[in-house]
Amino acid sequence: MRAEADEARILDAWQANAPAWERAVREERIESRRLVTDQAIVDAVLARSPRTVIDVGCGEGWLARALAAQGVQVIGVDVVPALVESARAKGGGAFRVLSYEDIAAGALRERADIVVCNFSLLGGASVDALLAAVPGLLAPGGRLIVQTVHPLMAAEPYADGWREGSWIGCGEGFGEAAPWYFRTLGGWVSAFERAGLGLRDLVEPLHPHTGRPASVIFIAGARQGNGDEQASRRSVSRHRT
Ligand SMILES: C[S@@+](CC[C@H](N)C(=O)[O-])C[C@H]1O[C@@H](n2cnc3c(N)ncnc32)[C@H](O)[C@@H]1O
């Protein structure tokens, strides 16, 4: 099946390109990150004054380090051992090698005030499975914060589906690019809804040179009957025993 092959290509590409990615991030080679999106995601997370954050698809860990510098306790997870190793070496959080499939299967037992995904939700079914696990990772009142490509900036057609990827704008040293699963704004909202998450806010950081959106940030919370309620039931039963 094409979709399964595309999911596998995402993982292969990130394994193969981990060193180049680490350089691109550490040397701040990606202009939109440098000018807009890094600060936008840090601001979106810190605006909620979290004590704890789970950084899903944390890469080499820059966001965990930025949040830790503000006193936030961070768990970072990523499927690529080399990236997790390099995150650990720089510190700023507790880092683990886990895939979204592992998380969907219950491998992450912790809960946090914020689950953040910074340009890390790239697949189709793998992302849907991860999202379904998110209500169970959120502390009561917690939020999922997702920064991703703004649909306005992606190639047509305007419909959910797989697209070929590219490393344009990331600098040199990259090999084969991975495909990614494009979602319209409505596609994202439906994916959150299917996972028991309701959209609470949407931010569109603008690129200062072009005046066009550099990304979109979704802020979602567990709907009643999902993570919030389960978590409060659990903490109530802990108090009773
Ligand atoms: C574009 S990078 C973003 C990394 C980091 N969040 C940042 O802001 O620099 C995408 C990350 O998602 C991770 N990733 C993609 N699919 C994954 C999966 N199925 N399970 C775990 N991590 C995954 C990749 O290994 C990669 O580190």
Q: Which of 85, 120, 134, 168 to mutate to test the pocket of ligand 1 (most atoms within 8 A of CB)?
A: 120
pLDDT, one tens digit per residue, over 187-232 is 999 999 999 999 999 999 999 999 999 999 999 999 977 654 444 4
Q: What are phi and psi of 10, to 5 degrees?
A: -60, -50
pTM: 0.93
Distance 227 CA to ligand 1 centre (A): 24
| Cα 153 from Cα 169, distance rounded (Å) | 14
Token look-up 């009773």 returns 240
Rounded Cα distance, 72 and 50, in Å? 7
Cα–Cα distance list, 162 to 22, 120, 166, 190 (Å): 25, 15, 13, 17
In whole numbers, what is the pLDDT of the chain averaged over residues?
92
193 Cβ neighbours under 8 A, 6+ residues apart:
none
For 103, the 3-state DSSP assignment is helix
- Cβ 58 under 6 angstroms from ligand 1: yes
Q: Atom 2 of ligand 1 has which residue's CA nearest to it?
A: 120
Q: Mutate which of 26, 58, 62, 78 to test ligand 1's pocket (most atoms within 8 Å of Cβ)?
A: 78
Q: What is residue 240's three-state secondary structure?
A: helix
DSSP state of 205: P
pLDDT digits (tens, 9 = 90+) for 100-157: 999 999 999 999 999 999 999 999 999 999 999 999 999 999 999 999 999 988 878 9
Distance 10 CA to ligand 1 centre (A): 9
Torsion, CA 217, CA 149, CA 212, CA 61, rounded to 10? 70
Ligand 1: does its nearest atom lie under 6 Å from the Cβ of 134?
Answer: no
Q: Are 53 and 45 in contact (CB under 8 A)?
A: yes
Contact 75, 93 (CB under 8 A): yes
Domains of the chain: 2-233 (3.40.50.150)
CA of 241 relative to ligand 1 center, distance in Å: 39
Average pLDDT rounded to a whole number, residues 89-97:
96
